[in-house]
């Protein structure tokens, strides 16, 4: 997904796959689901939409 690539992956250097997996998971949980608005959800964050 473009957002994850631009806002997480492109900005960091990961030492290995495990670290990348953990950091991307943390990004999804903390930022993508709780802070970032989504146009497909009426410009709400997923927590508000649910």
Look up residue 46 and give its two tokens. Answer: 């997923």
28, 29, 25, 23: which is closest to 11 by C-alpha? 23
Q: What is the pLDDT of residue 42?
A: 92
Q: What is the pLDDT of residue 43?
A: 93
Domain that holds residue 17: 2-49
- pLDDT means per 10 residues, the chain with 50 residues, are 77 88 90 85 89
* pTM given for the model: 0.67
Number of domains forming the structure of the chain: 1
Q: What is the pLDDT of residue 10?
A: 76
């Amino acid at each position: 997904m473009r957002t994850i690539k631009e806002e997480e992956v492109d900005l960091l250097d990961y030492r290995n796959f495990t670290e990348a997996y953990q950091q991307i998971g943390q990004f999804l949980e903390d930022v993508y689901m709780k802070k970032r608005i989504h146009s497909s959800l009426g410009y709400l964050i997923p927590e508000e939409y649910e």
